[in-house]
Structure formats: C-alpha cells, structure tokens
Amino acid sequence: MSADTPPATPTDVGEILVTSAQLQERVTELGAAITAEYEGQAPLLVGVLKGAFMFMSDLARAIDLPVEFDFMAVSSYGSATRSSGVVRIVKDLDLDLSGRHVILVEDIVDSGLTLSYLRKNLLARNPASLEVCALLVRETADLAALDLRHVGFTISGEFVLGYGLDVAERYRNLPYIAVYTGAVED
C-alpha cells in the first residue's frame, strides 16, 4: 500500500484532497519563501497544537535559517466536528515574544475566529512582526481580511483529516489530507 492509499478500514476516510507528495512540494516552497523573507534573522515559529505539529515540523526543516519553536494549544472544537464559536487557550507560550519576528503556524483556517483571537493575543505581546503561515484555508474565508502571509492550499467546505488534522484525536498520522465521511457531530 502506498503512502497515499487510504487504509482498507476505517470507512470514514474519504477522497484524498492533498497527497503526501503535494504536501511536501508545497511545504518546500513555503520554506523557501520564508527563508528569503527572513534572511539574516532567526524567526520564532509558533505552532498551534495539536493540528499544526506535522506541518510545522516539516516547514521548520524546509526553512534554511536558525529558527526557534514554541507552541500554543487553543480549543474551539473539543471533540466535535463543528466549532463551538468560543476560543480558549489551553496551553500558552513559554517564550517572550517581545522584539521577535513571529510566524504563527496554523493547520487550517475556517472562519478566522481562532486566528483573529490568536493574532490579537500575540500582538499584545509586542513582537517585532507577526505573520501567519496556514497549511489549509477554506475557500469561503476572506483572505484579505485575515491577512495571511503564506497559504499552503485552499480547500472547500468538507471536514478534513490527516497530516495533523483529526477527528476526536484520530487520523492525525495519515500522510495526506482526506475528506472525513463519518458522522458529523456538533
């Protein structure tokens, strides 16, 4: 079985939207762009757990600069497949952002609610700059209003899983991004 072939079971992993090869190619391109933009600097990558951990790991290896890492965990979904509309910080940063060039690494931007909350929270910590690198963005999102510096892929409205994205903590380990075809929970 190849890395892009869904397992025989479970039956709730549907169509592959982004293959492993497409992911690696795009992450390499994003890493090269970030390397060029931050030449001579050491940006701080802030990963949003848990979904962005695979993307951030690959992205960091594609950036040819000294980078540092920190992580935040926020919740707006819980174990459901629809956002509750309330964002809360579950794990905060360990590092001081003052004067740092910060790149917020997101797995997926849906409505922009979580991103807006995080941007305000992080800007209040006085970074030298704050940019966003999102692996996936819903085609319905207002890209201009969200001010996303780097976007991996634009996708439609299906709930997706794989490459760090989950359904009730499952499927993060899939090396591709696929449509979730199981029951949608509120």
**Cβ 46 vs Cβ 102: under 8 Å:** yes
Q: Which of 3, 1, 2 is nearest to 176 (CA)?
A: 3
Q: How many CB atoms sit inside 10 A of residue 90's CB?
A: 10
Distance CA 57, CA 64 (A): 13
- Both tokens assigned to 7: 């397992």
CB 30 within 8 A of CB 150: yes
Measured N-to-C along each axis, helices 20-37 and 53-62 cross at an angle, to the nearest 10 degrees, of: 60
- Our answer to whether residue 110 is catalytic in this structure is yes
Distances (CA, A) of 163 to 62, 64, 123, 145, 185: 16, 22, 28, 26, 21
The residue from 4, 70, 92, 110 that is catalytic is 110
Q: Which residues are identified as catalytic? A: 110
